[in-house]
Amino acid sequence: MRKIYTPSSAASDVLEVIQILEGRWKLLILFHLFDGKVQRYSDFEKLIPGISQKMLAQQLRKLEADGIVARKVYPQVPPKVEYRLTDWGQALCPALDALLSWAEQKDHFAPPAS
């Protein structure tokens, strides 16, 4: 088994990852951003069933504050706001991809007990 980190370096990194990605909605929002077709506030509302306006706005702003997501406001009426990943946010893609691959492998390791 691979040793995943050196104790001296990664303690704070782990905490940072947890803080940044914590919550029921962050990953969902990010996955839609990676999908590339979703940039508008109302798109998220449609594609993430069950999320409230409050949570959506709040989590988007947290992601923005953490430097994962960039928010671009077009000064027009009606308002238009686009969300996109920052460079650092895009760098997260392989990790989230690995996470999804892992989830897909579940049945390989734990065959549905029949």
Partner DNA sequence: CGGGATCCACAAGGATACTG
Partner DNA sequence: CAGTATCCTTGTGGATCCCG
Q: Does 81 bind its own copies (CB under 8 A)?
A: no
Q: Does 67 bind its own copies (CB under 8 A)?
A: yes
DSSP string, the chain: ------HHHHHHHHHHHHHHH-SSSHHHHHHHHHHSS--BHHHHHHHSTT--HHHHHHHHHHHHHTTSEEEEEE-SSS-EEEEEE-HHHHHTHHHHHHHHHHHHTHHHHS----
Closer Cβ to DNA, 54 or 108, answer by number: 54
Among 15, 57, 65, 81, binds its own copies (CB under 8 A): 15
Per CB under 8 A, the segment of 9-17, 52-60, 72-80 that binds its own copies is 9-17
Partner in contact with 53, chosen from its own copies, DNA, none, beta carbon below 5 to 8 Å by kind = DNA
Instruction: Report how far residue 46's alpha carbon sits from residue 86's, in angstroms, rounded to the nearest whole number.
Output: 23
Kindly list the residues in this chain that would bind DNA in the complex (CB under 7 A).
23-25, 40-43, 50-55, 57-58, 60-61, 71, 78-81, 83
Q: Does 5 bind its own copies (CB under 8 A)?
A: yes
Partner in contact with 65, chosen from its own copies, DNA, none, beta carbon below 5 to 8 Å by kind = none
Q: Does 78 bind its own copies (CB under 8 A)?
A: no
